[in-house]
């Protein structure tokens, strides 16, 4: 999702591509699944050394990017991940880093940021909740202030759901209701009262967990962001998570579309390539149109979120809605183009279909984002009418 228009970007992009082709091919995804693993910790540290984890961190905290937009560079990495449905906690770690580095007291979390950027530490964002739709600003998990002779802090109670890499993380950034407002807290996964329950995932290597908090005590320093900045911070973290997932799906769609076109050119029936039949030509044209629309809406959302535009949330919802809705249709059409082999375990198509199916439901479904877009336009219309 970033233009490759400088030697630095070319080097960063080519290095990322080479690393993923060598270290995270589809065969490796299948190996991890067979071993019951989500990702290899040493692999993730090598990925961090390439700079993936530093792109959303300002230079005064040791981060930096190869262009003037770390988010655009990170979206490029996500798009490359989609080409091999690669493993790894890129999104949970990136979203947590965005929260830590984006708050006013970010220097207080410098040690944690350093550990996350080096890949030595993995953290995840605990925001979704069981039986509830996408409502990051309406958590049922609570954080009550406590006080004692040893100092003040918070007691966290409740349950979070669909926490990516929850079992592999050392820290969780937990969104909780605190009094009349919303706050976020860094909670060690080995703290007393934390219980991690693995959840089944349709994806072969993306693993999730339900995390229970039963009277978990954290120090006052565990709070990330002041009460008056938490809402904006959570909103931006949501936008980053959404556009990164859209960028990865664009990588998935391009890859699946390309090898399906090649399949139709190579496969012959009645002495003609499958791709020569008019009905298939029309279907390929439709899929190409949808693919480019997914790419364009994602690029626009990445640009808006990177620039912190007033319409960034709207752009992210538009992208998440459109990409989430169309990605499944494109990959399913490619499955049908392949005929019987397309529904076999041995063919790689189902690895891509699993990933886009999973992402359709994460950080808001297309239906939920359609409602957010409608609400935004309704509010804008009302605001204009009152002027």
Average pLDDT over residues 119-139: 95
What is the rounded CA–CA span in Å between residue 257 and residue 327?
Answer: 11
CA distances from 175 to 48, 52, 128, 306 (A): 26, 24, 9, 23
Structural contact between residues 362 and 387, judged by C-beta atoms closer than 8 angstroms: no
3-state secondary structure of 218: strand
- Identify the DSSP state of 45: H
What is the rounded CA–CA span in Å between residue 336 and residue 338?
Answer: 5
Chain mean pLDDT for the chain: 93
pLDDT digits (tens, 9 = 90+) for 291-314: 999 999 999 999 999 999 999 999
Instruction: Work out the pLDDT band at 282, boundaries 50, 70, 90.
Output: very high
Nearest to 355 by CA among 251, 238, 237: 251
Nearest to 44 by CA among 163, 165, 126: 165
pTM score, two decimals? Answer: 0.93
Burial 363-375 (b: 16+ CB within 10 A, else e): bbbbebbbbbbee
Task: Quote the pLDDT of residue 371.
Answer: 95
Structural contact between residues 55 and 47, judged by C-beta atoms closer than 8 angstroms: no
Task: Quote the pLDDT of residue 386.
Answer: 37
Q: What's the maximum distance between 2 C-alpha atoms anywhere in the chain? A: 85
Task: Quote the pLDDT of residue 117.
Answer: 97
Task: Quote the pLDDT of residue 291.
Answer: 97
> H/E element holding 109?
none
Structural contact between residues 285 and 279, judged by C-beta atoms closer than 8 angstroms: no
Instruction: Work out the pLDDT band at 387, boundaries 50, 70, 90.
Output: very low
Average pLDDT over residues 320-339: 95
pLDDT digits (tens, 9 = 90+) for 68-102: 889 999 999 999 999 999 999 999 999 999 999 99
Structural contact between residues 305 and 240, judged by C-beta atoms closer than 8 angstroms: yes
Structural contact between residues 304 and 236, judged by C-beta atoms closer than 8 angstroms: no
Burial class (CB in 10 A: 0-12, 13-18, 19+), 114: middle
Long-range contacts: 187-196, Cβ < 8 Å, 24+?
A: 187/126, 187/156, 187/213, 187/216, 187/218, 187/222, 191/216, 191/217, 191/218, 192/216, 192/217, 193/156, 193/217, 196/166, 196/167
**Angle, alpha carbons 41-34-170 (nearest 5°):** 30
What is the rounded CA–CA span in Å between residue 368 and residue 370?
Answer: 5
3-state secondary structure of 3: coil
Structural contact between residues 173 and 142, judged by C-beta atoms closer than 8 angstroms: no
């Amino acid at each position: 999702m970033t233009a490759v228009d400088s030697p630095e970007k070319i080097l960063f992009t080519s290095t990322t591509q080479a690393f993923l082709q060598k270290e995270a091919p589809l065969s490796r995804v299948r190996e991890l699944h067979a071993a019951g693993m989500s990702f290899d910790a040493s692999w993730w540290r090598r990925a961090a050394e390439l700079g993936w984890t530093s792109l959303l961190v300002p230079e005064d905290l040791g981060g930096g990017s190869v262009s003037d937009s770390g988010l655009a560079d990170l979206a490029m990495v996500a798009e490359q991940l989609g080409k091999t449905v690669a493993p790894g906690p890129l999104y949970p770690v990136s979203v947590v880093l965005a929260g830590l580095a984006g708050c006013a007291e970010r220097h207080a979390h410098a040690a944690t940021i350093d550990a996350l950027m080096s890949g030595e530490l993995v953290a995840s964002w605990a925001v979704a909740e069981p039986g509830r739709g996408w409502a990051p600003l309406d958590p049922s998990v609570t954080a009550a202030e406590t006080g004692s002779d040893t100092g003040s802090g918070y007691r966290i109670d409740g349950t979070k759901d669909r926490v990516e890499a929850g079992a592999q993380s050392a820290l969780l950034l937990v969104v909780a209701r605190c009094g009349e407002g919303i706050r976020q807290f860094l909670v060690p996964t080995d703290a007393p009262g934390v219980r991690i329950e693995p959840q089944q995932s349709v994806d072969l290597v993306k693993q999730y967990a339900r995390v229970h908090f039963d009277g978990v005590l954290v120090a006052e320093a565990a709070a990330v962001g002041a009460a008056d900045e938490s809402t904006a911070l959570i909103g931006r973290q949501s936008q980053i998570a959404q556009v990164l997932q859209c960028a990865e799906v664009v990588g998935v769609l391009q890859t699946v579309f390309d090898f399906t076109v090649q399949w139709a050119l190579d496969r012959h029936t009645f002495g003609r390539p499958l791709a020569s039949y008019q009905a298939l030509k029309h279907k390929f044209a439709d899929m190409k149109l949808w693919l480019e629309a997914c790419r364009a809406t994602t690029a626009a959302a990445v640009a808006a979120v990177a620039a912190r535009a007033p319409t960034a949330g709207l752009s992210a919802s538009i992208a998440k809605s459109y990409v989430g809705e169309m990605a499944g249709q494109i990959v399913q059409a490619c499955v049908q183009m392949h005929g019987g082999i397309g529904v076999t375990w041995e063919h790689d198509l189902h690895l891509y279909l699993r990933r886009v199916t999973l992402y359709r439901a994460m950080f808001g479904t297309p239906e939920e984002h359609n409602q957010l877009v409608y609400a935004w336009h309704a509010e804008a219309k009302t605001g204009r009418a009152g002027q």
